[in-house]
Amino acid sequence: MRPDRFVDKVAFITGGGQGMGQQLAIDMAKEGARVVVVDIDVQGLEETRTLLEEQNSDYLIIECDISDDVQVAKAIGKTIGKYSRLDILVNNAGLLRNATIEETTNDLIDKTIDINIKGILYAIREVTPIMKRQSYGRIVNVSSITGYLQRDRPTCSHDKDDVLLGRCEERCDGREDSSEATWYCEGHVQSDDVLILG
């Protein structure tokens, strides 16, 4: 760990109330970042707040439903209001449900698309002009290894994997301004969603 890796950088992390998002917030703060932790789970946000307080981090906690474009815009506006910049967007939040296509309800389809696809695009849309103005930005989209490993058992959650694997190796519109996007595929992380699946 390098305590100065993210000094003077502002990181906006979705799904930061538990699991990998929470750990990313803690670790990036340890390495000097000012972290903005976003989640719909108020209790999870308070847990993250406590952990960040314990290490004297510079942070901002925002309750936000990323499937709501207005809430996403307001959350990013609050970030700029406090820090005047946003350097790193981590699109970590995602809905995980272990249902086959045949088992998938209309409600699950809507929720999955709203969170796993629209939520990512809303955040990217909001931060892109900010990063262009700064001539710097990094967008990290978190996908899942299931996009590779479970093609024999397609599920609704693969939509996020397909979108990210198919598109996010490309640079942002602002690539001439040193802004870029990337993705990585996580393995199984012991989060509340994974524990529910057994």
- Counting residues of the chain whose pLDDT is more than 70, the rounded percentage is 71
Q: Where are the beta strands (DSSP E) in the chain?
A: 10-14, 34-39, 59-63, 88-91, 137-144, 179-186
158 vs 3, residue with greater confidence: 3
In order, the DSSP letters of 88-107 are: EEEE--------BTTT--HH
Average pLDDT, the chain: 82
Cα distance between residue 180 and residue 170, in whole Å: 8
Tell me: the pLDDT tens digits for 63-99?
A: 999 999 999 999 999 999 999 999 999 999 988 767 7
Q: Say which residue, 147 or 113, is predicted with more confidence.
A: 113
Residue 194 has pLDDT above 50, yes or no: no
For the chain, the domains span: 10-197
pTM of the model: 0.82
Contact predicate 169/126, CB 8 Å: no
Fold of 10-197: Rossmann fold (3.40.50)
